[in-house]
Amino acid sequence: MIRQATADDRKALQALYEAFLNDPPHPSHLGVTLEDELAQADEIVEDGLGFVAEEDGQLAGFALGRRKAGTRGVLTDLYVRPESRRRGHAAALTQAIVDALEERGATHIELSVETGNSAARAMYARWGFTERVLTLQVPVDELKRRLGEHPDDAPSFGSVHVQTDDVNAVARAACQWISRQGHTEGTIVSQPWNGWVAVYDEHCDREPPLLQRLARELSDRMGAVVLAIGLERGEAVRYNLFERGRSVDEYLSVPEYYGPLPSGDAVALGANPTVVARLTGGDRARIRAVARTASSPDDLPPAEELLASIATEMRIDGATHGYDGAASLPGAVPCP
């Protein structure tokens, strides 16, 4: 039986709450005591938005809700004892909350669930709940440590390497494209190194996606193999390899550095040693060994060291710095 909770249910609710807080996966209510939870439950019950399921004269579960701003309602708590599950109590309790919130003008229901509670998440998905907001959590000490070690203004820099000895052609094509982006200075083109001409641009250092676009443009315009390679935010190494304007390989040392990706997309950001070896002349086995990926920068060599190692195996010189480091290169060609 489902009925509205009353103040007389407080002792029984306390027992259910204790079971709820000790039922794995444990709710991550950091620093919140049982009394804190019960005080909030008292308010909700008094407001008429608490319901309990009775079974054989005992409380088998409870549900609590709140009316929020706009037309939102929230299912704040839902719990059924393990021995009373799979009997429809959860659905019936939720229906009671939904009806009560709808009477008060709610048109949408929200809830929070532990990411590790796969059973609850599957049930809510069957009921039609979908992810709209993701709540993230980190210990304060860990956040302070990481902010101190890896601030958002950590250096990003990169370079573009064109497989040619024609410096003037590269300079002309690169500077024309960069000027179309509204930039008229801050670009340097190197003399050939091992059959590659490098391009450095201070605007591309600040905006890594520009580096990739420049590389694609040069590969398409010159019909050449072109590599964009660099360091992003001081932590992640990325390269993009183009052949005749077509992307043939993309690598990011931490595939989900900028956020979660579908598994296929994350795998695609791993290096393709066969392609890299064919286009750069590097050793396939060495490239595979060096160009590794991981879920965190902490699981890889320091980013600048990793960048240098990958460039070495690709037989690319001048990839370990950006525009600032290129300004004093001997024979460097500025944009005309």
Report how far apart, in Å, the C-alpha atoms of 251 and of each of 7, 156, 326 are: 60, 16, 24
The CATH number of 2-140, from 3.40.50.1820, 3.40.630.30, 3.40.50.1100, 3.30.450.20, is: 3.40.630.30
Model confidence over 116-164: pLDDT tens digits?
888 899 999 999 999 888 888 888 887 877 676 655 567 889 999 999 9
Q: Quick one: which of 235, 182, 169 has its CA closest to 210? A: 182
Tokens 């996606």 -> residue: 209
- Euclidean distance between CA atoms 125 and 130, whole angstroms: 6
Give the pLDDT of residue 223: 95
Give the pLDDT of residue 153: 60
Lookup: tokens for 279:
């286009």
Count CB-CB contacts under 10 A for residue 200. Answer: 27
Q: In the chain, which residues have pLDDT < 70? A: 25-31, 146, 148-153, 184, 328, 330-331, 334, 336
- Euclidean distance between CA atoms 212 and 215, whole angstroms: 5
Report how far apart, in Å, the C-alpha atoms of 302 and of each of 29, 242, 265, 287 are: 36, 26, 24, 17
Give the pLDDT of residue 75: 96
Strand extents, DSSP E, the chain = 2-4, 50-55, 58-67, 72-80, 108-110, 157-162, 187-189, 197-201, 225-232, 236-243, 246-252, 333-334
Say if residues 66 and 41 touch (Cβ distance below 8 Å).
no
CA 86 to chain centre: 36
| Domain residue ranges of the chain, discontinuous segments joined by + | 2-140, 152-334
Model confidence over 96-105: pLDDT tens digits?
999 999 999 9
The DSSP string of 218-278 is HHHHHT-EEEEEEEETTTEEEEEEEETTEEEEEEESSTTTTS---HHHHHHTS--HHHHHH
Give the pLDDT of residue 336: 60
